[in-house]
Structure 1
Amino acid sequence: MVRDLLEDALPLIWIEGELSNVARPASGHIYFTLKDSGAQVRCAMFRPKSGWLKFKPADGMHVLVRARVGLYEPRGEFQLVAEHMEPAGEGALQREFEQLKMRLDAEGLFAPERKRALPRYARRIGVITSATGAAIRDVLSVFERRWPLADVEVLPVPVQGREAPPAIVTMLRKASASGRYDVLLLTRGGGSLEDLWAFNDEQVARAIHASAVPVVSAVGHEVDFSIADFVADLRAPTPSAAAELLVPDAHTSAQHLRQLHQRLSTLQQRQLQALGQRTDHLLARLQAQRPQARLARDRERLLNLRRRLAGVLREQSQYRQARLERLQARLLARHPRHQLPLLARRLAEQDLRLRRAIAQILDRRQVDLRHAARALHAVSPLATLERGYAIVFDADGHVLRSAQDVAPGTPLRARLADGELPLVVSTAPVSAPAVAKKKKTPKA
């Protein structure tokens, strides 16, 4: 229960101390005591994590351990169960390296957009390194082999130890402020993390960032990285590689110059040929602009124009003569002597056609008139009168429509089919049935 409480209540911890009583039995576990000047604690590291160690733990070694708190129940002793172990010095330096790297990266010292391009042909190069190290010999050898024209100055500084960072910072500032150098090379040979630590100093990084001229960093071997590599305008994997990046190859440059010289010669020859052709063309134009040549050209042009004018006049005369002949033929064809017989025939034909059309129209109109007369006669009052009926008018000539409209003694007129009869009403009108039974003869 106590073990469960300890393991649940306390998280993983980091602890640093000196190894003692290191034991590694056949089981593969590691048992040891971690101590410092004031205390000690028993520790255990079980398989398989003990097999992942990159070093062999030994008494007296200073280590950094990540562990959880536990209880060894058979003895009732507290102990630490190690999950990870590393040499204390290297681990601390690595953590410090990562922290500084993250902080400077956040400030923008590693930003790609602030890195400057190196000069293609550097005339004067300052090499900041140890004057007695192997790195400077490699760098000078490459410079001498590739580009002897470069003026290389060695700016000696210590590259290891406590005095190295301030010396490097001072030299960077002096070289930047002098204005003598086109580019600076900060370099040293390989070594451990502690040996290269001067190039992981924050002040060195800020001096590189503040440099007025481009800085190339070549620290250690290809697998080594330092803060100076990230801040510099260019990182080279080795000092020799940095020298090759800073200067061109003399043999390649000479070959390139020969190619350029050949191209320049070819271009000059082509330009001379083009200028010669242009001169000949201008001379020909100048010869063509002489007064004698211009008069000859104008005379020839005048003759051509005269020939063209004569040809145009002939063509116009022929065209107009042909047109006049065509018009005369058309006019002759339309002469009255030729038109009168044709018009007489056409007039006779039109007269015949007109008479026939009039006769046909009259026949149709007579037939229509007879039909209309028969239809009109069928509804005419005269036809009704022929059947024995009469129309009675009053003295004013109005048709009498009712017997009740007249009084005795009223004069009337009766219209018959063959004439009219004057009438006088002698008695009062009778009703229609009485008249239907007995018809009274009107009195003359």
Structure 2
Amino acid sequence: MSLETQALPIISVGDLNRTAREIIEGGLPLLWVQGEISNFSRPASGHWYFTLKDERAQVRCAMFRNRSAYCRALPKEGMQVQVLAQATLYEGRGEFQLIVEQLTEAGAGDLQARFEALKARLHAEGLFRPEDKRPIPRWPRRVAVITSPTGAAIHDILVTLRQRWPMLRVLLYPVAVQGNEAVPQILAALARVAKRHSEDVLIIARGGGSSEDLWAFNDEAIARAIRSCPIPVITGIGHEIDFTIADFAADLRAATPTAAAQAVSPDRAEWLPHLRTQERRLRQAMERALRERTLYLDHLRLRLRHPRALLDAAEGRWQQAHNALRKSLVPRLQAASYQLQIWQYRLQQANPQHDVAALNQHLLTLQTRLRAAMERQWQKAQQHCQQLSTQLDMLDPQAVLQRGYAVLRDAHGHVLYSAAETAIGAEITADLHQGSLLCQVLRREAGEA
């Protein structure tokens, strides 16, 4: 042994394995590993132990119970899977192994990426806003269910509703819940529910399965149809760990179909004691009211009298009132009759027929005087109009022109009143009774002003 090797430190196996574990965990980050499962075992502790292998190598894996509980399906021998794991070293045996955090079937990673991308896009669009979620009715009478008619989901829902609230009516819209026909059938069922609009709440359900089995419920068109549905929608798809786009679009996501049925139905066991209490209180109130009405009826029975006695008493009161009325009305009627005779006499005296003849004669006199006055006024008006017509004829320029006179105008159309207003050789116009003459001044003679 050389001096150099003698100088190296000596460590225990435990320290060696601990150091190796720290180096491996520090040098290898959390990573995805793909391979085939073999030697799978699940002891009573709930932990999973298996070997992950490919054509070149293999590695031991452990998945503890707190992580394996979130797996959708139990791994099987020969299954191709992808695991998210931390590489480490089991110090007790010095074995290299992987501590698995997540386990999905091979190919599920692409589906998960598509799922996350669609979820992020619809979330950014506002399709999943909590404030748009509609409340689930507390006392629904009719429930629509969209699911497979032969699956375990409809059985669980019907059993749960029958146990919790048997009077709730259920209308099944049968559809395929996986495969190529699932999406079109689910969309058609949602359209029928929206068209009928006769149910109070809708359940979309399906039992558990792999990611591929549940993929129909990650369709964008289904998510939009759920949001546009006129009634509240509850989803119960897969197991508690399964989430789909439909769950985020729904007004309420239930972990399982059974939980969805529980969400829409009151619990009979919870309400029966309350209803029995209300029934007891109602019966007591009715008995108390019946006793009170019985006592009141007995009181009225004691006060009740025979109808003949009431009629006799009423007849006696009527006769008294009749006699009193006769005594009080006869004097008043006599006085009124005397007063009526007086008014009739006065009316005869004031009859206008006595004055009609005199008024007619006076009217004829007034008519004669009015006619004579109108004749006089008419003659005066005719005479006045004749005078005015004569004066108008005398002032009419045409009448002057008819007598042989003419109106002279200069070249500008101004009337000439004096010979001084024109010049020798100037042209003037003479307007006659009929027509006009264009003249030329040959001589002027001054006249008296």
TM superposition score normalised by structure 2: 0.43
TM superposition score normalised by structure 1: 0.43
